[in-house]
Structures are given as structure tokens and as C-alpha cells.
Amino acid sequence: MVAKLWIEAVRWRWAPRLPKESLRRFADQRQEGVVTMTNDQYRSEYAHHLIEQVNKGQMTRRQLLIRASIFGFSATAAGSLLAACGGGSTSSSPAASASASGAPAPKMGGTLKVAVQPSITALDPVTIYDTGGITLIGQFCEYLISMNEDLTLSGLLAESWSPNVNGDVWTFKLRQGVTFNDGSPFEADDVVATMDLLTDPKSGSGAQATLLGILSPGGTKKVDQYTVAFNLDKPYAEFPNMVSSSSYNTVMLKRDYAGDWIKNPIGTGPWLLKKYVAKQSCTAVKNPTYWGKDASGKQLPYMDAVEWVMISDSAAATLQMQSGAVDVQAITSFQGSQALYSDPNLKILEFPATAMKEVAMNVTKDPFGDKRVRQAVGLCMDRVALNQALYDGKATIGNDTVFSSIFPNAPKIPDRTQDYAKAKQLLADAGHADGLAITLTTQQYEEVPQYAQLIKAQCEPAGIKVNLNVISYDQYYSGEGKNQVWLSVPMGITQWGQRPTAGVFIQSMLLPDSAWSSSHWNNTEFASLFSDYMSTPDEAKRLELATKMATIEQDETPTLQTAWITQLRAMKKNVYGVHGPGSFYCDLRAAYRA
């Protein structure tokens, strides 16, 4: 029902450190009389650093692309970095690979019918938080940056971006010649007003939780008509993610936005809102003055109109897709969509994603204070079987660490596999030789009840009796502050949406001061490693720190991470140009029906 948990109550003590290589060169330059290093020099140093990493085998080409895109290198620039790495051919951008995949030539015109979850509340870009609302707003308003399906970033309203040497000022060059659909130009003033509104405590925006401690009201400054500087509260290596489509409230609004979006739907997006019936439908027609053009210079969007059909029931959504009543499903859920997998008229795009269901074990509650009990539970899990049963085998297997193998530069730690003998031994060592009973509290939401059943079944052979307490979604998230049910039960299953980096997960759920720590895990070594991790842009150093953290996390097992849920998008076979969701953003600019 709801898009999930996307917070960062960040208070990072972040001392910026340059890559070692760069520091050495920087020191050399000082001796040679070059006193300061300009941001441009820093950029080129960073580029060298990335190339070195790849050549040393400490980073893959894909990881280079991702890191380079965060640092504001354009696709072309990143491509030339790859070329500089030597060796094999460069990997292509998602857009290029789509056009190379044998799709027919784009056809203009027509209406696309897309199924989406109904928005829970009225559409307001500042406060939306659910799948339906985010997907719809993204059609009419745009982000500075788009997060692509492979976690790279590319500019939408921002043409380029780069940090200063310290990493606490990020300068964005805006795209010129963009207008809002009321004819007024999009300029730096609009960015400043939007960011000031989102960071204003009175706006009620969920973006504050994300930006807290990173960007304060007044921190966004106009440099000139088309240049904006974000003066951060502290250096933050991953800031561009915070103003990308993965941070969904950050669409750019007109400077005089008055909170009445549905009555006055102004944005720079490719579509114009024609008719909106709450919980039922939304009709969008193409914006004739949209700035975007495709690679061959054709005006975007290709199609004349999009009809959004809001469907809340997953069985109904599946049936509508099967009957051909809709062309595309914005988000296809695993549960209830099985019938679509084998439908010969459909294709289902799969994107490895980082959404997951966290099984948290509260270390402040018996018997989870003993790490051996937590490890034993982890050793009971048959992850391959879970993946098969819950996700049709399409998920990425998890290893009880938030450093999913999907993330760029993810550490490699030993796989955790089912081992009942070891689990029993650990339980015996912990004084539970005769077995023990635990209670798993969880919610009626998506596949969570089935997951809980499987955990119960898989724990049984080790002598762990799991009592299930399945409550409603509303009950699970009820209560105030730290007393909320999901934050205070001994063991629970909580859903987390896609996150752009492992750091965002750690910040929200694994630190002593994390707002959403259901495990209440308090590990000072891990926390201090994390602080170092966030303060270095050196990829080799980051990998070393990440490996240490992942090892500690897996050993301590505050939470089980058994599967990283692949995102699906089902569509008719004759629909092309629809890319995967890097977030809930559903880009239909280049969509067409052959």
C-alpha cells in the first residue's frame, strides 16, 4: 500500500579526505609552488583516481560509471574515462543498449494506458510519499537528476554538477531554455525556492528527514541565472543522490508554488495534466513545449497522451494486464503477478534492486541479547529456497549485511548458508540446548506473512520454535516514537524500499542513533568504521572499510537480509522505450507502441 521508509536522520562527522594518490600529487604540487588546487583540478585528480582503481582491479567498470556519475561526469566523460582504463570495450549507457536491442524505429502519437497504484492522498509534490503519488508527480514535474536503473545518475534539469575540494559545496549548472508549462522560465531562483521550501519544517515534507544535517534552509544559493550552489552543513560525497529521482520529493517547483498543485499543476515535465479523478484515473497529454529531444533530435515525448488507470487490488491489476486493457504496469509486484510471467503477450523487465524485507532481532530483548542466538537464526535460513518461494527465484540473495552485492563497490564476504549443526551448537553454547521459543511479530503486507511462515518452518529443525504474531499493517506501524510496535518488538519483519547506497540503509537502521533501528544494535566499532567510510572518496579505502563493516554486521547479525527484491515492470510486447525504475520514477518520454 505504501512506498517505504526513506529517511536519513544524518549527523555525520565527516572529515573530508582525498584519495591517497591525489594527496601525494597535491603535496608535490605544493612543493612545486602550486598553492591551491582548484575544483577543476580536483575533478581531474578524481578521474585519475578512478582509472587507477579500475586498472588495479579494485573497481569494476560499472562501479566507475556510477562513481563518476555521482561526481558529475557526463556519460561521454565517463565513457572516455573507461576508454582510458585500457583493456576491453566500454560498457554502453542504458539508452544506447536499448536502441541496440533490436527495437523498431520509434513511432509517434497514440495513447499509452498505464496501470498504477492509486495515490493515497491528494497529489502534492512536497508531501507525497506513496508509489502512486510519486509515479504520477514525476510525469508533470522533474528532478535535477535522474537515477537510472543501473544506479548511475544522469542530468535532467541539471546539466552538470561538481563538488568543491572539501565536498561541502556542490555547484549545479542548470539546463537552459527550460520553461514551466505556464510559460515562465526555469531558473536558479526556482531551485532555491524549492529547496528552501522542502527544508522548511513548516512544509511538512518528508524530504526534511532525508536532508536533515546535510542541507539547511538558506543553504541553497543562486550563483547566476543558471547556476546554483548547495552549501551543505557538512561534506557529503553522495549529495547528488539527494536531489535525484531517488529522493522523490525533490521535483523542481515554480518559485511561487502555493501548495495547490492539483488545482494549478505547474511543472517542467514532458506531460500536462488534463484530468485527475482521485483514486480512479489521470489523463496526461504531451507537453508541446517540452525541452527534451532524443538522440536523433526528435521532440520528446513520442506519444500524444498517457492514460493512468489507478488499480488498488493486485488481482485486478494482473487481470487488466492479461486482458490487454492496459499497456504497462508502472510497478509489478511479485505477489499476485505470477500469471504474468508466462503470458506470451507480455514482457517483464527485471531490474536488480535494493528493496528488502528486514528481519530485525531486538538486541535489548531476550533471547536476542546473545549474538549466538541471532547467528543461529541466520544459519537456519535456506536463502535459495526463500528466494524461490517468495520471489520466483528472481531476487538477489542476501548475506545478512546491507552491503548488497547490487551496490557499486560492494564488499565480498563469505556466503551464509543453512547449517543446522552449527546453529544447534551455537544454541547449546548459549544455554538453549533444549531449544527455545521466540515470537515473530509481523504485518499483513505483501509477501511478509509467507516469509514469516517460511522462517518458522526453517527454524524448527534447529529447535527454535517461532510463534507468529501477524497483525495488520496499521497496527504494526502504530504507536509514538521509539514505542512504535515495529521498533519495540523482540523480532519483526519490516519492509524497506529501494535505496541508492548501503550508507543510506546504515544511517537509518544500524547506528545507535538511527531513527528506525528495530534491532537497537549498538556497535561502536561499526559506527566508527562507518564514519570513516562516509568521509573518504578513495574507492580502495571505501572497499576495505566496507568489507570490515559487512564482516562485523554478518557476524553480529542484528538483522537478517536474505533477499534483495528485484523490481519488475510488465508491459505488452509491442511497447518500447520504457526503462526500469531506478526509483518509483517511471520515465515515459521515449515510450512508443510499435
Partner 1 sequence: MTRYIARRLLLLVPTLILVSMLVFALAEWLPGDVGRTILGPYATQGEVEMLNHKLGADRPLPARYASWLEHFVTGDWGTSPVLNVPVFPTVMKALGNSLLLASFALVIIVPTAIALGVYAGLRKDSILDRGITVSTLSLTVIPEFVSGVILLVIFAVALKWFPVTALAPEGSNLATRLYYLILPAIPLMLIELGYIARMARVGTLEVLAMPYIRTAVLKGLPRWRVIFGHVLRNAMVPTVTVIGGQIGWLIGGLVVVEALFSYPGIGKLMLDASTTHDVIMLEAAVLAVAVFRMLSNLLADVVVAVLSPRVRAGEAK
Positions touching partner 1 (CB under 8 A) are: 2, 4-7, 120-122, 127-130, 201-206, 208-210, 262, 278-280, 309, 311-313, 315-316, 319-320, 322-325, 474-475, 477-481
In this structure, are residues 37 and 208 in contact, taking their beta carbons and an 8 Å threshold? no
CB nearer to partner 1: give 266 or 373.
266
CB closer to partner 1, 41 vs 281: 281
Cβ at position 115, least distance to partner 1 in Å: 9
Which H, E and C letters describe 249-287, residue by residue? CCCCCCCCCCCCCCCCCCCCCCEEEEEEECCCEEEEEEC
Q: CA-based angle 467:471:473, to the nearest 5?
A: 140
Write out the E strands in 444-531: 464-471, 491-496
What residues pair up with 567 in beta bridges, in sequence order? 351
For 468, other C-beta atoms within 10 Å of its C-beta total 13
Cα separation, 443 vs 486, whole angstroms = 9
Min. distance of Cβ 342 from partner 1 in angstroms? 13
By beta-carbon proximity to partner 1, the closer residue of 214 and 386 is 214
Q: What is the largest CA-CA distance in the chain?
A: 74
Cβ at position 229, least distance to partner 1 in Å: 26
**Considering the complex, what minimum distance in angstroms separates the CB of residue 482 from partner 1?**
11
DSSP readout, 408-423? TT----PPP---HHHH
Whose Cβ is closer to partner 1: residue 13's or residue 202's?
Answer: 202
Beta strands in 255-395 (DSSP E): 271-277, 281-286, 305-310, 328-329, 346-361
Least distance in angstroms from the C-beta of 87 to partner 1: 43
- To the nearest whole angstrom, how small is the minimum distance from the Cβ of residue 133 to partner 1? 9
Beta bridge partners of 220: 230
Residue among 434 and 480 whose Cβ is closer to partner 1: 480
Nearer to partner 1, 318 or 535 (CB): 318
Scan for cell 515562465, then name that residue: 184
Min. distance of Cβ 391 from partner 1 in angstroms? 23
Judged by beta carbon, residue 265 or residue 408, the one nearer partner 1 is 265
Instruction: Give the SS3 label for residue 344.
Output: coil
CB 208, min distance to partner 1, A? 7
Is the distance from CB of 546 to CB of 409 less than 8 angstroms? yes
Residue 39 or residue 322: which is nearer to partner 1 going by CB? 322
- Closest to 157 measured CA to CA, from 268, 255, 232: 268
Q: Least distance from C-beta 203 to partner 1, angstroms?
A: 8
Residue with cell 552491503: 403
Q: Are strands 464-471 and 436-443 parallel, antiparallel or unpaired?
A: parallel
The least CB distance from residue 205 to partner 1, in Å, is: 7
**What distances in angstroms separate CA 377 from CA 81, 420, 437, 458, one per listed residue?**
45, 10, 12, 9
Q: Which helix (H) or strand (E) holds 439?
A: strand 436-443
∠ at Cα 132 (130, 137), nearest 5°?
Answer: 95
Q: Which is nearer to partner 1, 108 or 315 (CB)?
A: 315
Closer by beta carbon to partner 1, 31 or else 342: 342
Amino acid in position 12: W
Neighbours of 38 (CB within 10 A): 11
